């Protein structure tokens, strides 16, 4: 299993396991679909980045610019969230900063953009969501 697929699995699992995250629609396919701000059926890198900023703001409930385990109470989601934070935590301080979250590796986007033209079109999104659903049901 490549590292990017392992990371994607962690993201998918975090979304599926936590009602709080599910409520925020922290599911890669869903997040990508919602990132299409101008509704033209193509999600560009810029749209993806803007969506990440919005997602970060929603997860960071206390607004301190960091995602920590305190932003999501509950032990069950805590463990998954720790994994997610660890996957984003580039400088290893145990927290995912806004910068680490927004400018971090765009695992879902990169995987969805099958032809690597810098945008995820409708067909690519549909295939990605199908693949993500399969990962979840394993």
Q: How far apart are CB 4 and Ca ion at their closest, in Å?
A: 16
Tell whether the torsion through CA atoms of 72, 77, 78 and 81 is positive or negative: negative
Nearer to Ca ion, 27 or 89 (CB): 89
What angle, 0 to 180 degrees and rounded to 10, lies between the N-to-C axes of helices 122-137 and 28-35? Answer: 160
Per the CB < 8 A criterion, the answer to whether 68 and 95 are in contact is: yes
Per the CB < 8 A criterion, the answer to whether 48 and 35 are in contact is: yes
Q: How far apart are CB 130 and Ca ion at their closest, in Å?
A: 16
Nearer to Ca ion, 22 or 83 (CB): 83
Nearer to Ca ion, 5 or 103 (CB): 103
- Calpha distance 42→22 (Å, rounded): 24
Please state the separation of Cα 121 from the chain's center in Å: 18
Strands (E), 83-122: 96-97, 119-120
Binding footprint of Ca ion on the chain (CB under 5 A): 36, 38, 40, 42, 89, 91, 93, 95, 113, 115, 117
Cross-strand bridge partners of residue 120: 43
Q: How far apart are CB 83 and Ca ion at their closest, in Å?
A: 14
Nearer to Ca ion, 16 or 37 (CB): 37
Nearer to Ca ion, 53 or 93 (CB): 93
Q: How far apart are CB 91 and Ca ion at their closest, in Å?
A: 5
Q: How far apart are CB 41 and Ca ion at their closest, in Å?
A: 7
């Amino acid at each position: 299993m490549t590292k990017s697929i392992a990371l994607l699995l962690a993201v998918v699992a975090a979304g599926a396991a936590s009602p709080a995250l599910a409520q925020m629609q922290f599911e890669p396919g869903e997040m990508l679909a919602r990132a299409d701000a101008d509704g033209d059926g193509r999600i560009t890198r810029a749209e993806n980045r803007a969506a990440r900023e919005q997602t970060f703001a929603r997860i960071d409930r206390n607004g301190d610019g960091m995602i920590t385990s305190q932003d999501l109470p509950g032990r069950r989601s805590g463990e998954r969230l720790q994994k997610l934070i660890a996957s984003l935590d580039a400088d290893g301080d145990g927290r995912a900063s806004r910068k680490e979250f927004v400018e971090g590796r765009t695992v879902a986007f990169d995987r969805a953009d099958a032809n690597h033209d810098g945008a995820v079109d409708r067909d690519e999104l549909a295939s990605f969501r199908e693949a993500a659903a399969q990962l979840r049901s394993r």
